[in-house]
Amino acid sequence: MRNLWTKAGVFGSVSMAFGSMLWSQKNPDSDQASSPSGETDPSSLYELKLVQVLFRHGARTPLKSIPDVMEAQWVPTLLEPPAHTQINYEVTDLNGGPRPPAPVEDSYRKNILSGGSFSGQLTTVGMQQLYELGKRLRTRYVEQSSFLSSTFNPAEVYVRSTNIVRTIESAKCLVAGLFQQKEKEIVPIFTTASESEILYPNYHGCKLLKILASHRWAESSTLPDIAADLQRIQSALGIAAHQHIDFILIRDDMVAREAHGLPCPPVLDSWRTKVEQRAVDMICHVYEPSKRENLQLCVGPLMHKMLANIEGKLQGTSSEPKRKLFLYSAHDTTLIPCLMALGIFDMKWPPYAADITVELHQHRETNKPFVKVSYIDQDQLIPGCSGVYCPLDEFKQILSSYSLSSDLYQSLCNSKEDSTKP
């Protein structure tokens, strides 16, 4: 088992993941080091080759309501799709066959919120957010650079989503904004069965991750500072002591209400900053970024897939040589560990429709490959990279600490917890 972790890069530098969380996001405008020749506009030195966008779904109904407080009315009219977000699309498995069963979505359908809507459903507000993200991508990659065709072409664009309605609909809305409802043919949105999903930490498909994470989730609400604040807010809100709540649940309901202009308990006005802080503290405890193996199991296969897409483009081995854009529709619980692995988590919960965009560039003079990462439209200086335009070798070295091939991932997932202990 120790050999498995060694292969996965666990026993390299252990400080990168946690220490790099202290790096602040850097304004690319002030980073002239990103240009080898000191140009004020380094982008002119590079030719864009490939874009990968990992994004969170838009605003939605809450997963659970805060108990014992005034209810928000989640009426079905809040879920009506705007006409400009409609496109002709179909949801398939990764091979183009029928959509797999969706047990996660089925669980949401068992929970009806006050007002009549199901939990976890993309709303009109959320649909518009993803449409706007699509428009931003259109401005950059269609109108400004002519990198993409102005009409959707499946040879150019690959769309993958978790098999959950809100992420599928988010992908659809983004494509509508990106291509302004212009498609040559039906837009395929690819999904996979829950046990093989790599677009979120897969507690169902990875036994070891479930073992490692389950007690971290249980512990997260009992940490002294968090537990003390939780007791205080529970008392302030008048929530019965027997009700199980935590700061992530409170934040989820609070942010969902705010996004839709629905009333929150007045007590939360003075607690908002603390709720945000404690929710982030909890999720950091769960993902435990100081222990690399946890992030590996959370996002290792996804990192491996994104690196493979880059290599396929550079080596000319892609099955779709004309492919220029990969779209991955996912969750906050996907973006957070990815940001941690990249060393750019800013200790703020990713908002609805947040995106991590990874661009592959080629230097026009040297032909050497570079990677540029942005988060919510802000270029990032990745710790370990010599510039915002990061030489691919440096980028691969950083991700090698977390990337896991499918075979190694499965080997680790099926191992026992006690085998991971030194």
User: Which of the residues 31, 332, 346, 363 is marked catalytic?
Assistant: 332
State the Cα–Cα distance between residues 389 and 416, nearest whole angstrom.
40
Map residue 360 onto helix, strand or coil.
strand
- Look-up: residue for tokens 């085998």? 419
Distance, in Å, from the CA atom of 306 to the CA atom of 290, rounded to the nearest integer, reads 23
Tell me, yes or no, if 285 is annotated catalytic.
Answer: no
Give the Cα separation of 277 and 310 in Å (integer): 36
Encoding tokens for residue 245? 């709540």
Q: Which of 57, 304, 331, 361 is catalytic?
A: 57
How far apart are alpha carbons 21 and 96 in whole angstroms?
A: 39
Judge whether 84 counts as a catalytic residue: no
Q: Are 378 and 25 in contact (CB under 8 A)?
A: yes
H-type alpha helices, 195-246 = 207-220, 224-237
Structural tokens at position 163: 């098999």
Residues 6+ apart with CB under 8 A from 244: none
Token pair of 340 as six digits: 């941690």
Residues known to be catalytic:
57, 332
